[in-house]
């Protein structure tokens, strides 16, 4: 697969790279970022990888520029991969009304089944299958995978882990959209990408998936108590109730005074990186 390196910067002894490639799954060119810690330069290195999924309106750049994850990733010997949040391009349909919470920047990490979205909006297959295959072929990356994300990306991380027992060794999320079947962002996205049959939505809803999870991979979730989206969109109480009912291990940390921003993520990202590193080393 042809990879076009768009930029390279040295960071904490390692290298941050932005790369463009053509995605067969999405039918368009995609850009992702990868942070290679100093250990990646060692002969024969095969390092664990954390896949980070960003939220609505974001690209690969938000996390890499704002989260401050590189210092700890360099210390832990952890590769970080941050894909874009949706397919993009002139041939990829966006929201017909130009809204920010659907279409470009809002792929929701599902496989769309409805036209015109089904041609390109298959972010789930891209994140779970196509991108890891590329990363493990092109970089000194092992198949020891963790997954994390924020908001819409927190939803994506939890769904990817719950639907794929054994594929990931660790999972975490910041302010995830925990119950998309029951919130405006989720209802808008799922109804358009998947159709009006709400039974089909259950395969993309963390609270529904927990009850049938094939493994009990521990969930680490941080949520700011001053998050403006907390009650209407994120619903951590539903996540807590679903995990409790299923006996699924969940560490849900409600952080007083923190909002939905990257100031919040940067404050606790080291905890999440250590959480992943412990699981990925085992």
Active site residues: 151, 227, 260
What does the DSSP assignment read for 201-228? HGGG-HHHHHTT-SS---EEEEEETT-T
Beta strands in the chain (DSSP E): 4-11, 14-23, 28-36, 47-53, 79-83, 141-149, 170-174, 219-224, 250-255
Q: What is the DSSP letter of 197?
A: -
Which residue in the block uniquely carries the two structure tokens 């680490």?
220
Strands of the 170-174 sheet, one edge to the other: 4-11, 14-23, 28-36, 79-83, 47-53, 141-149, 170-174, 219-224, 250-255
- Half-sphere exposure (Cβ direction) of 25: Cα atoms closer than 13 Å: 22
Nearest Cα residue to 68 out of 52, 49, 85: 52
Q: Is 48 helix (H, G, I), strand (E, B) or coil?
A: strand
């Amino acid at each position: 697969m042809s990879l076009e390196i768009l930029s390279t910067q040295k960071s904490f002894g390692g290298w941050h790279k932005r790369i463009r490639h053509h995605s067969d799954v999405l039918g368009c060119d995609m850009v992702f970022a990868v942070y290679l810690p100093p250990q990646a330069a060692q002969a024969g290195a095969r390092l664990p990888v954390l896949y980070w999924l960003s939220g609505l309106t974001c690209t690969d750049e938000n996390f890499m520029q704002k989260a401050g994850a590189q210092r700890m990733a360099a210390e832990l010997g952890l590769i970080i991969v941050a894909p874009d949040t949706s397919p993009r391009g002139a041939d990829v349909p966006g929201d017909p009304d130009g809204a920010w919470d659907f279409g470009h920047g809002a792929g929701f990490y599902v496989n769309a089944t409805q036209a015109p979205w089904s041609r390109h909006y298959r972010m789930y297959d891209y994140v779970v299958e196509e991108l890891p295959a590329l990363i493990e072929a092109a970089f000194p990356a092992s198949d020891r995978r963790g997954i994390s994300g924020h908001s819409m990306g927190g939803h994506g991380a939890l769904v990817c882990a719950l639907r794929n027992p054994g594929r990931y060794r660790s999972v975490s999320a910041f302010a995830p959209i925990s119950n998309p079947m029951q919130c405006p962002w989720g209802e808008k996205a799922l109804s358009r990408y998947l159709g009006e049959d709400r039974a089909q939505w259950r395969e993309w809803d963390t609270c529904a998936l927990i009850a049938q999870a094939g493994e009990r991979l521990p969930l680490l979730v941080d949520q700011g108590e001053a998050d403006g989206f907390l009650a209407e969109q994120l619903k951590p109480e539903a996540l807590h109730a679903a995990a409790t009912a299923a006996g699924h291990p969940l560490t849900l940390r409600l952080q007083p005074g923190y909002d939905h921003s990257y100031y919040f993520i940067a404050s606790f990202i080291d905890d999440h990186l250590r959480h992943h590193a412990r699981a990925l080393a085992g």
